[in-house]
Amino acid sequence: MARKAIAASYCGICGRGEREAALLSVEWVRPNIARYLDDAHPKWRESRFICSTDLQMARWQALESVIERERGELTELDRSVIASMSRDETLSQNVEEDYAERLSFGERAADRIAGFAGSWAFILTFVGVLMLWVAVNLVPLLRQPFDPYPFILLNLMLSMIAAFQAPLIMMSQKRQEAKDRLRSLNDYRVNLKAELEIRHLHEKFDHHLMRQWERLTEIQETQMELLSQPLPTSARSAVKKKKASKAAADSPQRSALPPSDPKPS
Ligand SMILES: [Zn+2]
C-alpha cells in the first residue's frame, strides 16, 4: 500500500523517477522525519513522493539533529552509534576479550604477579618462608647461620620485594582503569543506541496507529454514507424475494415443532 506506482511520479528530493528508485508516498513519512525534511528541503512535498534511499538518509539525519538539539555538539561516540544504527549492526562488544588480546607479554605477567600478590596463598607462603628463615637462623643447627639475628639479609630481601611490588600493583591498577573506561564507553554506546531505537519504535508505532485510525474512520464514513442512501428498486425487489424464500423455508419447520412450544421461531 505504501508503494504507489503512478505514472510520472518522482522523488521530491533527488528527482529520480519510479523506474530508478522505489518511491513512497509522503503520507507515510513519520512526523519527526517530515519536520526535518521541511527544514532541509522545503519543496520535498511537492512531488508527493520520496525515494527509499533519501528517506533512509533523512531518518538518520533527523536522529542526528535530535541528539544535537538535546545536547549540543555531537561527539565521535554519538556518531559511531548513529552510524551503527544506519548500518543495522550490533554495537555491544566483549571489552574483556578485546582488551586481553591487545596486552603484551610483560603486561600480562605483571597482571598475574599482582593477582598472586593480593591473594591468601601469597600471604601464607610468605609467612611460612619468613618463619623458616628465622627458625633456621635461630636454632643452633648451623654452626655459622647465613643470616644471624637481627636478620639483616632478610630485611634487605623484604625491602627489595616491597620496592618491586608497588610499581607492579600500580601497573595493574592502571590497566584495570583503562579496561573500566572501555567498558563504560561501551555501556554508554549501547545505552544510547537502545534509547534511540526505543524512541524510534515508539514514533513508528504511534504513526502506524494514527494511520490505522484514519483508515478506520474513512471506512466507517463510507459505510455510513452507503447506509444512508436509499436502495435502488432492483436491489429492493431482490431483498423482498430473499425474504419470501426465507419465510417459505421456515414454514415446514414451524409445523414440525411440537404444539406445546410457547414461542415457535
Ligand atoms: Zn530521492
Question: Which amino acid is residue 50, in one-letter code?
Answer: I
Quick one: pLDDT band at residue 98, thresholds 50, 70, 90?
A: confident
pLDDT of residue 66: 83
- Residues in Cβ contact with 184 at an 8 Å cutoff, skipping those fewer than 6 apart: none
Q: Return the residue matching grid coordinates 436502495.
A: 231
Please state the ipTM of this predicted complex.
0.95
Q: How far is the CA of 71 from the centre of ligand 1 (A)?
A: 30
Q: How far is the CA of 27 from the centre of ligand 1 (A)?
A: 15
pLDDT of 100 higher than 90? no
Q: How far is the CA of 54 from the centre of ligand 1 (A)?
A: 5
What are the tens digits of pLDDT across the range 141-183?
667 888 888 899 999 999 999 999 899 889 989 988 999 999 9
E strand segments, the chain: 23-25, 49-51
Q: How far is the CA of 13 from the centre of ligand 1 (A)?
A: 5
Q: How far is the CA of 65 from the centre of ligand 1 (A)?
A: 20
Q: How far is the CA of 76 from the centre of ligand 1 (A)?
A: 28
Q: How far is the CA of 14 from the centre of ligand 1 (A)?
A: 4
